Amino acid sequence: MSNTGALVRLELKARYGMRGVPRKKAIIKYTLSALLFGGIYVLLMFGIKALIDMFHVYHMDYQFILTYHMVFEVMMLVVGISSTVRSLYHSGDNELLLRFPVTGRSMYVAKATTLTVGAGIATLTLLLPPVVMFGVAVNARWFFYLLLPVYLAVAAAFPMSIANMLAIPAMELGAKIKHFHLGNLIVSVILVGGFFAAYITLFESVVGFLRGESLTVMSEGGMQKLGFLHYAYPLSLPVDMLFNGAALQVLKKASVAPSGLAIAIPVSLAEMALAIVGSWLVTRKWYLSTVLKNIEAEKASFERHTRNRKRGVIASIFHREFLDIFRSNNHSFQYLAMACAAPVMVYFCNRLAIDVGSKALDQVTVPALTMLVLFIFVTITVSFAGSCVSREGEAFYLTKISPAAVRWQILVKMGLYMLVAAGSIVVSMVVVMATKQVAVSYGFGIMAIGLMFALALTAFAIKLDMVRPVFPVGGDGEKAGGSLGTLATMGVGLVLSALLGFFGLIGSAMPTVGAPFTFGMEAVVVFVLAAAAVTWLSVNLSKSYDKIEQR
């Protein structure tokens, strides 16, 4: 049991500890992270509170709590499967741990403990506050809060246990489809774009409700139809148990009758117990054998006979860099999927910004809002270039002995990143111009400024990654931590986006300045930034690259 306890402490320290980071840097890092995520969390809770009030006005409290519960359970299931596969079966330290005198049971308990802690944190932060706000909104009686701990336990344990059972089948399915890179990319783009479109559409409805406007997207009839989730047994039973603990008048106003406590409580507890037992039986029988199988698979070579094709130096570097991104699920999602989904996200986010901003400001400010939205998504996409050196990982030394000059290697990588970013920018602006969100004259101007902005950030990101690369990789060959180039590019890009966007808003709204002069000044500023970034990257490029040491 001492081995199990030691492994649990090591896993918790590796997941939530400072991991060798100097104390001052760790304090700064966690403080900034807390401020960032704290701000996002406050906005999220504010939106959920608005949704609670919106459903409560139409006496559809049951539909809200049921829908929110289902969304949370599905999210926990998807995240749980991914986390279980990565932590239990594809962890880089599995091979190392098997060399020590520890059992498979100890390994599983240690890794499962970290997953349980994560599920508990997610439940306490994402489920408990909305449920409490719901109870306050419906003026729930004391029995509601008495049942709350039972509800939280079921809501957290059930999806994580099911995820534990589905992890092995999901892993086997992933192994069969992981080489269908184009299909995976298309699915990722559809999921990202669809989720973002649904989120913005829902947010528009909340904004309209807060203004006192009539419901448009979330109509009263559409809200009532959410009651069909009541028949999604057994997931709906914990909600029925909790809802029965609310005030009697709320039950009378509910358009869908929840199951009684005599059914909801025992069945909810039974489903949680069965899920936990099933999860334990599955892992007890197949965990260690699956880990060993994965370790053997990692050592196996990939057999595929391909013809040798002669390519020029530039074409070879371009082909290799593109395949390195395209064939990696992580890199493909972080860069290609985000770039392909950017036009959809720009359109919906721009529509929301226009709806909110044009009511408070004149229509002339719409191009500035569009530029602000576009620059934010360009920053997210281009920040991937901040790991172009770090992604070489353990094979970095090969780039130094390659017959291709370092300058060509960097320029080709930069060209690839700019090609993808430029395509995303052009398509995004064509979409907003075709939908008449922005006039054609302003659209092409924003497009040109956006291309220069992307060039400046790309050069800046590559140079920063050359200054401070991060080479350690995980057990699956992917880069383990975020590099300075990626993080700094994201921060600088967001700050510049905000400054340029707000300057455009203020200048466009001032009659003495006007939008044409404002956009002309911003074009000059961005051009200077792009020239400075490219110059900084180009000067002594080969010498700077040769100084990089792989530690």
Segments making up each domain of the chain, as ranges: 2-180+214-298, 313-546
Detail the DSSP E strand segments found in 94-192: none
Q: How far is 539 from 146, CA to CA, in rounded Å?
A: 67
Give the residue among 90, 78, 88 at the shortest CA–CA distance from 115.
Answer: 88
- Say what the pLDDT of residue 233 is: 61
Query: Tokens for 309?
Result: 């094709």
Query: Tokens for 8?
Result: 């649990």
Query: Tokens for 87?
Result: 């932590």
Per DSSP, helices labelled H in 178-254 are 181-210, 220-225, 237-244, 248-253
- Say what the pLDDT of residue 447 is: 92
SS3 for 478? coil
DSSP 8-state code for residue 319: H
E strand or H helix at 117: helix 104-122
Which neighbouring-strand residues pair with 473? 479
Q: Which amino acid is at 109?
A: V
- Say what the pLDDT of residue 180 is: 75
Burial environment of residue 36 by CB neighbours within 10 A (0 to 12, 13 to 18, 19 or more): exposed
DSSP 8-state code for residue 511: T
- Say what the pLDDT of residue 249 is: 46
Question: Can you give the pTM of this predicted structure?
Answer: 0.71
SS3 for 479? strand
Give the residue among 280, 277, 276, 298 at the shortest CA–CA distance from 98.
Answer: 298
- Say what the pLDDT of residue 211 is: 56
- Say what the pLDDT of residue 248 is: 47
SS3 for 236? coil
pLDDT along the chain (551 residues), means of 10: 71 65 67 81 84 78 81 88 82 74 78 85 90 86 84 90 87 74 77 76 64 50 51 70 62 50 78 88 81 65 66 80 76 75 81 62 70 87 81 73 80 87 90 86 89 92 84 51 72 89 81 78 93 90 76 55
Give the residue among 518, 535, 386, 528 at the shortest CA–CA distance from 453.
Answer: 528
CA gyration radius for the chain? 26
Q: How far is 391 from 469, CA to CA, in rounded Å?
A: 9
Q: How far is 471 from 473, CA to CA, in rounded Å?
A: 6
Give the residue among 313, 339, 310, 315 at the shortest CA–CA distance from 326.
Answer: 339
413 touches 388 (CB < 8 A): yes
